[in-house]
Amino acid sequence: MSRPSVSREQRVVMRKRQADRIEAMGRAEGRALLDIEEHIGSCIKWPPHFTEMMLSTHLRFPERWQLTLFLLGNRCPPSLMVEWYLSRNALKDKSARDQVADLIRQHKDGTLEQQGRTTWVLDATEDLPAILRKHKWDGVGMPAENKTRAIFTPSFAFDWQHEWHWDEAIAVLKEPYVKVTPGRPGALGGGWPPS
């Protein structure tokens, strides 16, 4: 997945427009966005093209694919992601909902990991090789220059106490007429394991 090339001036204009769109959100919609940001950080600090996708009200196939992998790869609870998509009416038809449901299922069962799928990971770190360290703690957890990382399935996806996050998100996407109230804590459920 390549990042679109934008100039510094274009990035400033894009960030200003994105901030204005966030500021103009209603209370419930803003709360839903904050719920996601509590897990993965402020969307204004994301790469601009991911923020642009997040604020879109119509996600076409490539945007759905990239944004869903980005959110899952950055440990966004699938239930919050689906709540956001549906509250914004970003998934316009059954095929869009089915695609996202399938990506969530592939994330849970490890298919994305097995296929070597990658995404931009916001808090990616890397360690210096031991031979380059003066002390054993030198260079451990340094911010990575290349933040493209493999998408992995968290171990708690298979824990009976937490697997419902994936299952419920998939079930809601498969249900044809679900009304989601954004910003209600746990609109699709509640509680996400700490990282």
For residue 122, the SS3 value is coil
pLDDT for position 138: 60
10-residue stretch averages of pLDDT, the chain, 195 residues long: 69 85 84 91 89 92 96 93 92 95 95 93 71 60 77 81 86 73 47 47
Q: Residue 142: beta bridge partners?
A: 126
pLDDT for position 135: 60
Give the max Cα distance, the chain. 60
- pTM metric for this prediction: 0.78
Domain boundaries, the chain: 8-174
Task: Produce one character per residue of 66-98: b if its CB has 16 or more CB atoms within 10 Å, e if not.
Answer: bbbbbbbbbbbbbbbbbbbbbbbebbeeeebbe
Q: How far apart are CA 50 and CA 70, in angstroms?
A: 8
End-to-end CA distance of the chain: 26
pLDDT for position 65: 97
Whole-number Cα distances in Å, 7 to 11, 15, 134, 168, 194: 6, 12, 39, 41, 37
pLDDT for position 119: 93
